[in-house]
Amino acid sequence: MWREKLQLHKSNPIAALYPSCKFLILCLYAACSFVLGTIGVGEGGYPLFLIPWFFIVPILSAASGVWKRFLRAFRAVLFIAGLILVVQSLLIPSEVVVWQLGFLRIYQAGLKSGLSLSFSIMNIAGMFVWMFQTTENKEFTRALEDSGMNYKAAYVFISSLQMIDVLGKNSRTIMNAQRARGVETEGNMIVRAKAFFPSLVPLIVGAITSSEERVLTLESKGFDVNGPKTHLFELKKSGNEPLATGIAVAVAVVVIAGRIVLWVL
């Protein structure tokens, strides 16, 4: 049946978790990252616990069966985190030099803040990548609506995601058309900056004028009517949520208890 085609069936038990359960895991993980970041190891007080803690993200992604998608989305985060680590450790001067090669000096304070910043970013951003790669956009929207979000807000959210595809395609068409008319897109920076206008202005104007028609379409379908709404896409709990939440809470409790024990000792 056509309605059956809209539903999602996931075989992987981790990927099939309910979106709000995944979000809870993410929040606990991020909180633990902050806690672990406060533990200094060795003379320099480096936050080394963040490094093994980070391994959870790729392991979880591989276990969820989204390893390739995770890697593709995580590349951008990895690039920035690496850049931050290099810039911070080489460029923030302090008295103690940890390591020296020619004119390159790695300073203690810089290395410490670089490690802390880059691994915190990788931890939190990596977990977001995992969440978004294991969850479809329509699952999110449905979960948001079920948790009490206004249906109009949920519509705006999903519509933005779709609009990015639509306008992205349109912008390529417009740019090719303008190029065919002789608008230069290569050359010095002023020439390139000038090419920006004929590509973007028609795109925006077209989108705004077409939104008038969309208002009529939506209103004719009863979008503004107050009353219970029906859904074509159903979101079910997989049944493993209590177990997953239990594991996440247990790990978080152990981490926080460990931190408190270290304080007391």
Return residues touching another protein (CB under 8 A): 73, 76-77, 79-80, 83-84, 87-88, 90-92, 113-114, 117-118, 121, 124-126, 128-129, 132, 137, 152, 155-157, 159-164, 166-168, 171, 175, 185, 189, 192-193, 195-197, 199-201, 203-205, 207-209, 211-212, 214-215, 218-219, 223-224
Minimum gap (Å) between residue 35 Cβ and another protein: 18
Report the nearest approach of another protein to the CB of residue 44 (Å): 17
Q: Is the dihedral of CA 157, 60, 82, 50 positive or negative?
A: positive
* Residue number, 190 or 264, with CB nearest to another protein: 190
C-beta closer to another protein: residue 193 or 264: 193
The count of C-alpha atoms lying within 13 angstroms of the C-alpha of 223, restricted to the half-sphere facing its C-beta, is: 13
At residue 182, φ and ψ (nearest 5 deg) are 110, 10
Q: Could you tell me the two tokens for 241?
A: 């949520």
Q: Which is nearer to another protein, 88 or 108 (CB)?
A: 88
Q: How far is the CB of 204 from another protein (least distance, A)?
A: 5
Handedness of CA 89, 90, 93, 94 (dihedral sign): positive
DSSP string, 126-140: HHHHHHHHHS-HHHH
Beta bridge partners of 163: none
CB of 84 to another protein, least distance (A): 5
- Nearer to another protein (CB atom), residue 93 or residue 242: 93
Candidates 222, 253, 198, 206; CA nearest to 31 is: 253
